[in-house]
């Protein structure tokens, strides 16, 4: 077991565990309110007096590019850390999570010298212009399912804007954020700009959300905690809040879809990252003409789906759930589904003696008002349902409090366009799923939250628009 810094203000540490076995990997300094205070003070000093907001955008971009290079050079270490800490697949993590993290740093590095205001033609003898100024100290509270990507997609636009920041990684997965902070330092990001405080939500997380000297908070996690973050902002300094919360995303498969491709897409849209993904398409609607064939093929295909230790066996498709709490939560949802009268098509049980493994589970005969069809399960559990018409599919897809993602599979352009425009979600994938990129805004509607990560919209969260007006004398034109 490792010990990672014991310098929290209380001297307390917490253990982070390997979900393959439940064994302790490392003990990590446990940050609390006083540590958050120290981190915010360092970030404030770096913002008010440090070089980061004062250097040119192109110089910030140059340093961020170096950071991206270092992330790529250390992709193996980062992927190994995530695999040990979160039960993720190392090869997939290297390609997807670490790739996205580097991509995001590069994308926003390119944006750092392209932050422009407007010139305003006012009525009367005045001229106006807008400045887009860095907002100040940003607070980030991130989850455990994609720790490296989450760190980068939050931090990168804030860095580009010239902000400084405090980051609290999830208590289940604190290791990669500490490693990334070390790479940031090596890249030349000055001290005080990125401050990582590992710790728990109700202590360290809450201290960030309610801090009077934090200028904005960006959070990714559960809807319940998102609500607490907004409350904390309202009760403290009314800092702007950006929330990326849960989902219960629909995937609608029409009769004309390629059947094999549809089965593969439904599987990956549900089981990628062991179902620990906020945009997982956990409600799959299949049109009645192909429903029976789809169900049969899906059940057949699940037989060759391998659950096991992703670190040591390259054939493995699905590793363990992140920790014992999530494992038990997912199993209790599965029990709920059985008790509510849904039928288990495949899976439905825990796997093995050690670690937090769960069989990939498909429920059929699911009714819209069942808990498993309404609540986010965040595990390898799919609800498979049948529909008749486009109208019905759209209505049922929208019959949720969430609005994060959606997918549609059809060769009919008119049907695709209609669904795309009718489904209330932040992202809609047509004949694909989970395809994301640094330039694609990501974030939800309804109880999935608001505010975008990725894309140029993300930059706006870290920039305050200031209007400046001066009198105008003797201008030859107006």
Residues in touch with ligand ADP (CB under 6 A): 141-143, 168, 170-171, 200-202, 205-206, 209, 221-222, 225, 228-229
C-beta closer to ligand ADP: residue 269 or 277 = 277
**Backbone phi and psi for residue 85, each to the nearest 5 degrees, phi listed first:** -85, -30
C-beta closer to ligand ADP: residue 221 or 380 = 221
Closest among 218, 280, 275 to 449, alpha carbons compared: 218
C-beta closer to ligand ADP: residue 345 or 453 = 453
Distance between alpha carbon 156 and the CA centroid of its chain, in Å?
A: 14
Catalytic residue annotation = 244
What is the C-alpha to C-alpha distance for residues 118 and 71, in angstroms, rounded to an integer?
Answer: 35
Least distance in angstroms from the C-beta of 69 to ligand ADP: 28
C-beta closer to ligand ADP: residue 202 or 352 = 202
**Sole residue written with tokens 């003990």:** 27
Least distance in angstroms from the C-beta of 226 to ligand ADP: 7
C-beta closer to ligand ADP: residue 180 or 408 = 180
Contacting residues for 300 by C-beta, under 8 A, at least 6 apart:
none
C-beta closer to ligand ADP: residue 229 or 266 = 229
Least distance in angstroms from the C-beta of 320 to ligand ADP: 16
C-beta closer to ligand ADP: residue 21 or 325 = 325
Point out the residue whose Cβ comes nearest to ligand ADP.
201
Least distance in angstroms from the C-beta of 168 to ligand ADP: 6
Least distance in angstroms from the C-beta of 262 to ligand ADP: 29
Least distance in angstroms from the C-beta of 364 to ligand ADP: 27
Other Cβ atoms closer than 10 A to 456: 14
Least distance in angstroms from the C-beta of 155 to ligand ADP: 15
């Amino acid at each position: 077991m490792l010990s990672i810094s014991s310098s929290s203000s209380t001297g307390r540490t917490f253990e982070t565990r390997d979900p393959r076995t439940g064994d302790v990997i490392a003990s990590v300094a446990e940050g609390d309110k006083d540590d958050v205070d120290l981190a915010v003070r360092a970030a404030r000093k770096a913002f008010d007096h440090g070089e980061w907001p004062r250097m040119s955008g192109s110089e910030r971009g140059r340093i961020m590019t170096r950071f991206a290079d270092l992330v790529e050079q250390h992709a193996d270490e980062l992927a190994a850390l995530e695999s040990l800490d979160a039960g993720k697949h190392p090869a997939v993590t290297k390609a997807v999570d670490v790739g996205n993290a580097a991509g995001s740093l590069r994308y926003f590095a390119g944006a750092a010298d392209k932050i422009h205001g407007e010139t305003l033609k006012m009525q009367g003898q005045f001229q106006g212009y807008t400045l887009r100024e860095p907002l100040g100290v940003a607070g980030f509270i991130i989850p455990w399912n994609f720790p490296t990507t989450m760190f980068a997609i939050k931090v990168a636009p804030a860095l580009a804007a010239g902000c400084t920041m405090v980051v609290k990684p999830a208590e289940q997965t604190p290791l990669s954020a500490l490693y990334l902070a070390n790479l940031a330092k090596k890249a030349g990001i000055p001290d005080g700009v990125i401050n990582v405080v590992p710790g728990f939500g109700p202590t360290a997380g809450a201290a960030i959300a309610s801090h009077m000297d934090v200028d904005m908070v960006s959070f990714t996690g559960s809807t319940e905690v998102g609500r607490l973050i907004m409350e904390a902002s309202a009760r403290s300094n009314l800092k702007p809040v950006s929330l990326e919360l849960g989902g219960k995303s629909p995937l609608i498969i029409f009769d004309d879809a390629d059947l094999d491709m549809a089965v593969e897409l439904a599987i990956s849209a549900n089981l990628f990252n062991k179902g620990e993904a906020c945009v997982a398409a956990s409600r799959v609607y299949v049109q009645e003409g192909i429903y029976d064939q789809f169900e049969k093929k899906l059940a057949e295909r699940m037989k060759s789906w391998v659950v096991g230790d992703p670190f040591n066996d390259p054939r493995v498709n699905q590793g363990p759930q992140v920790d014992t709490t999530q494992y038990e939560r997912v199993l209790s949802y599965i029990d709920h589904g059985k008790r509510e009268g849904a039928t288990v098509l495949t899976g439905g049980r825990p796997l093995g003696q050690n670690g937090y493994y769960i069989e990939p589970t498909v429920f059929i005969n699911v009714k819209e008002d069942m808990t498993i069809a309404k609540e986010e399960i965040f595990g390898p559990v799919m609800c498979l349902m049948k529909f008749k018409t486009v109208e019905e599919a759209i209505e049922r897809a929208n019959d949720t409090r969430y609005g994060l993602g959606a997918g549609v599979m059809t060769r009919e352009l008119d049907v695709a366009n209609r669904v795309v425009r009718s489904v209330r979600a932040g992202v809609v994938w047509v004949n694909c799923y989970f395809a994301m990129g640094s330039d694609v805004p990501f974030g939800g509607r309804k109880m999935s939250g608001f505010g975008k990560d990725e894309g140029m919209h993300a930059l706006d969260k870290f920039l305050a628009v200031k209007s400046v007006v001066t009198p105008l004398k003797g201008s030859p034109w107006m």
